[in-house]
Structure 1
């Protein structure tokens, strides 16, 4: 019963990894599409605006799968990085939703007033939380040695300008999103289960117990030997 439960648990983990890997792929595609739209390569349509906020939402699912991979080796630092990164991505989803579905229906003066007040401050706090989460999570992932180094480095390097939307030039921001998308794809493949390496000396094999056949053979040989000795004594 225990072995069946362990197998089912492993199967559930693999299903979660596959779902988060698909989310990571979707996040990467949406980041590239959003960057191409902002750069004028992809046309501005109702569809491209409608799907834009879901890059952050897919990224939230993807980062959850990555954290499940590094959790055994990342410790408290990995947990802190995951919480901050997830909170930042959730806030980024809310910001993107507002930018695409709320601000277009407001006047320019109303938008400027919101950005100059508490709404703008909330946007700034979200960016700081996301940046802190990206850096902390990346350090924890590198220390764990679980994810590919190049993927983690690209994700961190891309999300630094990607978190600072209004503080960096637009080309730098868009390039950062593409770099982060590439890094996320390097990290986002589902894991392959490998047998755990055994550490320490090899286990001792228990001594083999002689079988009934071997015992009978030894008795027969002993009997033959005794017979030869007896015969020799009679000859004397």
Structure 2
């Protein structure tokens, strides 16, 4: 094994440590933990539970990863936390394993950034290239699709889905689903438009952005219920990006939607 492990670190019997891992001072790695190639634990990091961490992920001091859920219904079931590759998990971040009632797995994709003090609760599903800014908190069973940004000091209610490319402003409470590419802000989250800056940074074409603007206006002002407007959108557009919004709105959910004002 080519891992570098500080003498003060505690590695429980059974833990799997990949080649090229670096485990710093006073870290604690539990017996059911698996660290892939090149994982770095800076110092004072706790990795517990049935937790697997993907290649080249870096975890900063005082993060606690894989502890049991903050759910009074949890009875010690064998659940897990799966973290993908190249994630950056900053100081004091907490991530919990899943619960039996939520499918048993908390899942984190690749290339995400979790800034200091963030919390990821049980059974959360996070895609790729997601950013949680300092002290953002996700309650149980939330789903965040790819390229989502959640602003600092924001909270996301349990079972909420946030669609691909959406952005949540700072100090915002999100209690309902957010459509892909949506822009949400204000104390009690309000859907105020589209994440146009993010779309332009991703190189989305002018034609698709124009189609998204028109779709947003139809969702805001069209006739019928929100889902009915979405169905009509799906019939009237050829834009892949608009279809992503339509599919999201018509998908399964346990919450209602933040709708355009």
Determine if the TM-score, normalized by the shorter chain, exceeds 0.5: no
Which structure has more relative contact order (CA 8 Å, sep 6+)? It is 1
Give the number of the structure whose alpha-carbon radius of gyration is greater.
Answer: 1
Higher strand share: 2
TM-score norm. by structure 2 comes to: 0.25
TM-score norm. by structure 1 comes to: 0.27
Higher helix share: 1
